[in-house]
Amino acid sequence: MSVRHEIRRSPATGATRERWIVDVDFEHADGRRERVRKVSPVQTRRGAEEYERQLRAAMLDPRRNRPRAPTFGKFVRERWWPTYPDAAGNRARTKREKEGHLRLYLLPALDAVALDEVSGEVVERLFASLAERGIGPKTRNNVRATLRRVLASAAEWGVIDAVPELPHARVAAYAADFLVREESDRLLAAARDAEEWALLVFALHTGARAGEQLAIEWRDVDVDRGLLFIRRASSMGITGATKGGHDRVVPITAQLSVALAGITHSRGPLVFCHGDGTALAIGQLHERLWGACRRSGLRRIRWHDLRHSFASQLVLAGVPLLQVQAWLGHATIAMTMRYAHLAPREGHELIRVLDTPCGAPTAPNGGLWRNPR
């Protein structure tokens, strides 16, 4: 009998104690027997019978028989890190970023926490502590993305049931800066030598990211057809695929053709490098850019703002956004739409083809439409 009523008398005082007990002897599908004996939280027959049903349902739950989840640190070190980044085709830079998120923020806080105990509350406390330490919202969101990917892998691999809700930090929209044509001409005029001039012209006339420019080789330059092939990117000395993972082709402008012809070094395959052929670092690009900004009297901008200048000047000149997207290598047109407001306003007049011949739309009753306000 699974539910029974017990009456016990104390040998010392003679006092009696009554209670309802649930005693379940359960046989699992694999033949294992499990016995659970507990005092019913509700001390009535009906309450004890309901408690028995709950216990039996819990025993049937397959999640109950799953091995205890490993700790976050054990799962990351032994399973996730040796498997996921390479299997997902993460770039070298992406792997370094994820490794930094784990080493600096996630493992110090979650190393000993069981994966199935990484709840929303635990994560909220973690990100609150990061905010208190002065970690910015963009970095917190990047750490969040790494944590979510680890937990998603754990769920996909059957280690945990589901991924908990993770907090999202609001990041203020970045107002990209760019140079107009007159400003970019001033910047180029301030170059100290032909190779620095070529470095700046290349960025302004191709829209290449810094890592892509540092990885450009002479074999990527097709002078006969006037085409430049952007096939790879370099970051912290490691060369790999471009950010989008796809090659792209950008036409070589006349000014860029002259700039490339003026590069005199002949050591190694890289177009932009030191005299001995060794690669430049991203910091050296900024040194040259900021020096030119200072000499030309322009505000200090980031190297990436030269990419924004490339796109902005094209859109201001009326180049279609889809073409700009292709040259920039944006995965979606939504990324290129940030420049849409720069398109010439004369294009808005094209909608006038929908007007009636008299140039004023008419109301259904034949009269002129007027704003009711």
Contact 329, 230 (CB under 8 A): yes
> Where does residue 286 rank: exposed (0-12), middle (13-18), buried (19+ CB within 10 A)?
middle
Q: What's the pLDDT score for residue 368?
A: 47
What backbone torsions phi and psi does residue 248 show, to the nearest 5 degrees? -145, 165
Q: How many angstroms separate the CA atoms of 230 and 252, rounded?
A: 12
What average pLDDT does the structure give for the chain? 85
User: Tell me: the pLDDT tens digits for 324-349?
Assistant: 999 999 989 988 998 888 888 665 56
Q: What's the pLDDT score for residue 369?
A: 44
User: Tell me: the pLDDT tens digits for 169-192?
Assistant: 776 666 679 999 999 999 999 999
User: 352 falls in which pLDDT band (50, 70, 90)?
Assistant: low
| Dihedral sign from CA coordinates of 183, 189, 192, 193 | positive
Q: What's the pLDDT score for residue 202?
A: 96
User: 354 falls in which pLDDT band (50, 70, 90)?
Assistant: low
Q: Which residues contact 227 (CB under 8 A, 6 or more apart)?
A: 249, 250, 251, 252
Q: Which of 28-37, 78-87, 290-299 has the lowest mean pLDDT?
A: 28-37
Q: Is the pLDDT of residue 158 over 50?
A: yes
Segment 162-165 long-range contacts (CB within 8 Å, at least 24 positions apart): 164/118, 164/119, 164/120, 164/123, 165/120
Q: Is the pLDDT of residue 297 over 90?
A: yes
Q: Is the pLDDT of residue 230 over 70?
A: yes
Q: What's the pLDDT score for residue 173?
A: 63
Structure tokens at 342: 């720069």
Structure tokens at 348: 């808005």
Q: Is the pLDDT of residue 295 over 70?
A: yes
User: Tell me: the pLDDT tens digits for 44-74?
Assistant: 888 888 888 888 887 776 555 556 789 999 9
Q: Is the pLDDT of residue 366 over 70?
A: no
Q: How many angstroms separate the CA atoms of 81 and 90, rounded?
A: 12
What are the residue ranges spanned by the domains of the chain?
3-65, 72-156, 181-345
Return the exposure string of 287-309: e unless at least 16 CB atoms fall within 10 Å of the residue's CB, then b: ebbeebbeebebeebebebbbbb
In the chain, what are the helix, strand and coil shares in percent, each to the nearest 5?
Answer: 50, 15, 35
Q: What's the pLDDT score for residue 342?
A: 86
User: Tell me: the pLDDT tens digits for 86-111?
Assistant: 888 887 778 889 999 999 999 999 99
CATH of region 181-345: 1.10.443.10
CA angle 323, 326, 327 (to 5 degrees): 90
